[in-house]
Amino acid sequence: MLTHVGTQTIETERLVLRRVTPDDAEMMFKNWANDEDVARYMRWSPHGTVEDTRSIIANWCDGYKSAHKYHWGICLKDGEIIGSLSVAGIDEFDSRADLGYCIGKAYWGRGYTSEAVSAVLDYMFSRVGINRIEAYHAVSNLASGRVMQKVGMTREGHARQKYKGRDGFEDSDMYGITRDDWEIQKEIAYYNSLPVTFDGFIEVPMLANDEIYLVCTGKKEAIPAKKYVPAYDFAICKGGEQIGEINLRIGYTDGLYYGGQIGYGVDEKQRGHGYAAQACRLLLPVARAHGMKKLLITNDHTNHASKRVCEKLGARFLRVAPLPEWHELYQEGQRFENIFEWDIEA
C-alpha cells in the first residue's frame, strides 16, 4: 500500500525542488519551455508564447489538489527555476511508477538533473513507499541516459519504436531501479564516508590468543586503478602449523561493500573449532590502528559456515545483496552475497 503525500518541497545541496506556481511562468518560458533543443526528445512542442506556459502551469497547479500528483520545479537556491521533474503513471498494485525530467540548456552538464533525480528517488522510496521506478530515453539522447546511470538506475533493455516523439517513432533504452537497489546505494555511501587513516603500513604487534596466532605474510599496496585498498595478509597458525589464512583490507569502497574488509579461509580438517572467528578478533588492533570503526564481512549466500562465523562475532546482518556485473565476485560466478556489519567500537 502506497502512502501518497503529494508534491512537497525537497532541498538538496544546491537545489530546491518545489511546486511550480503561476509566478514561475516567465522564468520557465525563458529557461526551457520555448527551447527547440530542450523539446527535441519531449512529447511537447516548444511554447510559442508565455501564455502557453501559463496554461500548462495552470494544469499542474490543478493537479496539486491531489496527493497523487508528483511534479516538481527544479530551482537554484537563488530562486531561479531551471527545469522540472515528475513521477507519473503510478501503478498502485505493482507499486511502480515512471520518471521524467527536463532542464534548461544553459544548465546542462552541471549535475543538476542527477542531483534532483536522486532526491526525488529517495522521496518516492522512503516517503511514498514505491517499490520500483522506471525511465527510458531515446537512444540518441545520451545525456539523459547518463543521468539514469549516474543515479544508479540499471539499463534493463532496449525497446524498438517505444514512443512517438517530435522526430517520429523513437527507439529507447529502458532503465529501472528498485527500493532495494536504492537502499544498497545509501548503505554504500554511508560506509564509504566512514573514517579511515592510512599513512603507511604499521608494524604488526603479536596477534595471539591461547589457541592460535597470526603471522603477517604480506602487505599489499593500494592499486587505485582497480580500486584496491591497502591490505594485510596473515597466516592463521596453531602449534607451529599453518591452518588457514586471513586478510584485512584498509578502507571502504563500492567494491568492498560486496567483498568486505575481512576475508578468511580455514583448512577443511581444522574447521568447526571457531578458528576463523578467533582470527577475526585478533585483527582488531590493526583495524583500530587505522581508525576503522566498522568492518564489513561478506560471504556467498549459500556459505552457511561463513555466515555462522559472522554470527559468532556478533556482526549485524544487513541484507542479501545481488552482485553487480562489474564486480570480480560476479565474474567468478557468484550472484548474491550476505552483507554483515561488524561494529568494532562495541
Contacts of 86 (CB under 8 A, 6+ apart): 70, 71, 72, 99, 100, 101
pLDDT in tens, 137-174: 999 999 999 999 999 999 999 999 998 877 789 999 99
Residue 187 lies in a domain: no
Burial letters 99-117, b for 16+ CB under 10 A, else e? bbbbbbeebeeeebbbbbb
pLDDT in tens, 170-198: 999 999 999 999 999 999 999 999 999 99
For residues 162 and 240, state if they share a domain.
no
Residue 234 lies in a domain: yes
For residues 172 and 235, state if they share a domain.
no
Cell numbers at 151, concatenated: 543515479
Structurally, how many domains does the chain consist of?
2
Contacts 24+ apart (CB under 8 A), 39-46: 39/166, 40/141, 40/165, 40/166, 40/167, 41/137, 41/138, 41/140, 41/141, 41/144, 41/165, 41/166, 41/170, 42/102, 42/165, 42/166, 43/163, 43/165, 45/166
pLDDT confidence of residue 168: 86
Using CB atoms within 10 A of its CB, is residue 235 exposed (0-12), middle (13-18) or buried (19+)?
A: middle
pLDDT at 67 over 90: yes
Please count the helices (runs of H) and the strands (runs of E) in the chain: 11, 16
For residues 154 and 240, state if they share a domain.
no
For residues 45 and 116, state if they share a domain.
yes
For residues 159 and 214, state if they share a domain.
no
pLDDT in tens, 264-312: 999 999 999 999 999 999 999 999 999 999 999 999 999 999 999 999 9
Burial letters 207-226, b for 16+ CB under 10 A, else e? beeeebbbeeeeeeebeeee
pLDDT at 74 over 80: yes
Residue 200 lies in a domain: no
pLDDT in tens, 202-251: 999 999 999 999 999 999 999 998 889 999 999 999 999 999 999 999 99
For residues 58 and 166, state if they share a domain.
yes
Residue 250 lies in a domain: yes
Q: pLDDT band for position 1 (50/70/90)?
A: confident
Residue 136 lies in a domain: yes
Single-letter amino acid code for the residue at 96 = R
Which residues on neighbouring strands pair with residue 235, listed in sequence order? 215, 245
Range of the domain at 297: 207-343
CA-atom Rg of the chain in angstroms? 26
Q: Which of 191, 236, 192 is nearest to 215 (CA)?
A: 236
Three-class HEC string of 200-221: CCCCCCCEECCCCEEEEEEEEC
For residues 153 and 28, state if they share a domain.
yes
Residue 201 lies in a domain: no
Residue 195 lies in a domain: no
Residue 186 lies in a domain: no
pLDDT confidence of residue 242: 98
For residues 42 and 107, state if they share a domain.
yes
Single-letter amino acid code for the residue at 120 = V
For residues 261 and 150, state if they share a domain.
no
Which conformational region is residue 79 in: left (phi greater than 0), alpha (psi within -120 to 50 degrees), or beta? left
Q: pLDDT band for position 346 (50/70/90)?
A: low
Is the pTM higher than 0.75?
yes
What's the whole-number average pLDDT of the chain? 96
- Number of C-beta neighbours around residue 232 at 10 A: 22
pLDDT confidence of residue 43: 85
Domain end point (choices 140, 158, 178): 178
For residues 248 and 303, state if they share a domain.
yes
Domain end point (choices 178, 198, 219): 178
- Number of C-beta neighbours around residue 194 at 10 A: 13
For residues 167 and 297, state if they share a domain.
no
pLDDT in tens, 20-60: 999 999 999 999 999 999 998 888 899 999 999 999 999 99
Q: Give the domain CATH number at 228.
A: 3.40.630.30
For residues 162 and 217, state if they share a domain.
no
